[in-house]
Amino acid sequence: MKNSILYEVFVRAASSSSHHHVGSLRAANDEEALLNARDLYARRNEGVSLWIVRSGNVITSAPNEQTSLFETEGKAYRYPAFYPVPKGVKNL
């Protein structure tokens, strides 16, 4: 594993869906990573497209920011269910 690079792998499962993260792998370079991604994550026709990204290039939110970034308490009005639909009214 010396000098190998860690890559994150994203697979587009079907035409029209977006790429989803499936896991990571190690490779010596980008070309090899793409080939490895195919062999490792798409052996059974799992997708129509692969994206690989060097793990070091992924910028993540910190685990301890979970509440401050994603807090929605008291913001139920952002969801349609917050608004009662009067009886008999349709297609809202």
Partner 1 sequence: MTNNIATPVTSETHTNDLAFLARIDNDEKIEACDWMPPDYRKMLIRQVSQHAHSEIIGMQPERNWLTRAPSLQRKSILLAKIQDEAGHGLYLYSVTETLGADRKSLVDALLDGRAKYSSIFNYPALTWADMGAIGWLVDGAAIVNQVSLCKTSYAPYARAMIRICKEESFHQRQGFDILWTLVHGSDAQKAMAQDAVNRWWWPALMMLGPHDSNSQHSEKSMRWKIKRISNDETRRRFLTQTVPQLEALGLTAPDPDLNYDEEAQCYRHGDIDWDEFQRVIAGNGPCNKQRLQTARTARDNQSWVLEASAAYTQNQSKQTMH
For the CB of residue 26, give the shortest distance to partner 1 in the complex, in Å.
26
For the CB of residue 4, give the shortest distance to partner 1 in the complex, in Å.
26
State how far the Cα of 26 lies from the Cα of 5, in Å rounded to an integer.
5
Cβ count within 10 A of residue 20:
12
List the interface residues with partner 1, window 29-88 (CB under 8 A): 49, 75, 77-80, 82-86, 88
Half-sphere exposure in the Cβ direction for 86 (13 Å, CA): 1
Which lies closer to partner 1 via its Cβ, residue 18 or residue 57? 18
For the CB of residue 80, give the shortest distance to partner 1 in the complex, in Å.
4
Which lies closer to partner 1 via its Cβ, residue 43 or residue 87? 87
Cα angle 5-29-10, degrees, rounded to a multiple of 5: 75
Residues 28 and 3 sit within 8 Å (Cβ to Cβ): yes
The stretch near partner 1 (CB under 8 A) out of 2-10, 11-19, 28-36, 52-60 is 11-19
